[in-house]
Amino acid sequence: MDEQSPAIEVHDLSKLYGFKAAVDALTFSVPRGCFFGFLGPNGAGKTTTIRMLMGLAPPTSGSISLLGLPMPERAIEVKQQIGLVPDESLLFDHLTGGEFIEFAGRIYGLQRLVAKERASELLDLFELHDARNKLISEYSKGMRKRTAMAAALIHRPRLFLMDEPFEGVDAMGARLMKDILLEQVRHGATIFLTSHVLEVVERLCDRVAIINEGKLVVEDSMERLRGSGTLEDAFLRAVGVERAVETLDWL
């Protein structure tokens, strides 16, 4: 495995649904140890792209390499080294939080006692200890997101793919999750994050790509994107919004 390769390398990646291109010839790379924000308006192709990276949707054309390994040819090897937090938390409602996290550890090949011990520690880390024996079906959306992130961490992955991980999470839970993710990056992990909340991306990410109508329109460092204003300003310019929406006379 090439340790000097980018964490993510995408070349001419496309996904067609009928004659419609949800993703259109995307090319970008994510350096290792980077907190990478992937942005775009609703329907721009963000979730389709991350589903292809996760191996949940086959591309129509183009290539994907994760941690120097081609997808899908080396998918099993790649998936052992990545942590996934999809937009819809794919949790088993009839397990407790502790059981689900332990189950995730076993799926990733951890010994039973190691998985059980790490699951307990992750429940404490994510402040879910009081709900460790509750069924996931009783969890709030924010608790489900924290459980999904805890399960993604259990095998100490080198790359995280996260689709809207903070959606439905309250301020305290979001702060906890952000701090944990930043600590992972400080230890050398790479995070690929989609989010509609630009303030979150602006605070966390050091590099950003923006797509619109399936095409890459901007890829740059956060520092340069903020050079002439906020990330919101850069985002609106990139997707072609130059002025505020007109108001109605009677409002």
Q: Tell me the two tokens of residue 153.
A: 């961490």
**pLDDT value of position 186:** 94
**pLDDT value of position 14:** 96
Report how far apart the first and last C-alpha atoms of the chain are (Å, whole number). Answer: 60
**pLDDT value of position 227:** 78
**pLDDT value of position 133:** 87
Q: Is the peptide bond before 157 cis (omega within 30 degrees of 0)?
A: no
**Cα→Cα distances 165→1, 143, 152, 176, 195, Å:** 29, 11, 11, 12, 7
Bridge-based pairing of strands 82-85 and 215-221 is unpaired
Low-confidence ranges of the chain (pLDDT < 70): 1-3, 88-90, 241-246, 251
Bridge-based pairing of strands 35-39 and 82-85 is unpaired
**Cα→Cα distances 106→10, 39, 134, 182, Å:** 30, 33, 20, 26
pTM of this structure = 0.89
Alpha helices in the chain (DSSP H): 46-54, 75-79, 97-107, 112-125, 141-153, 171-186, 198-204, 222-225, 231-238
The dihedral through the CA atoms of 10, 201, 164, 81 has a sign that is: positive
**pLDDT value of position 234:** 86
**pLDDT value of position 82:** 94
Bridge-based pairing of strands 82-85 and 159-163 is parallel
**pLDDT value of position 167:** 85
Q: Which residue, among 46, 140, 39, has the nearest Cα to 148 in the 3D structure?
A: 140
Mapped onto helix, strand or coil, the DSSP state of residue 54 is: helix
**pLDDT value of position 2:** 57
Write the single-letter amino acid at 151: A
**pLDDT value of position 245:** 59
Contacts of 3 (CB under 8 A, 6+ apart): 68
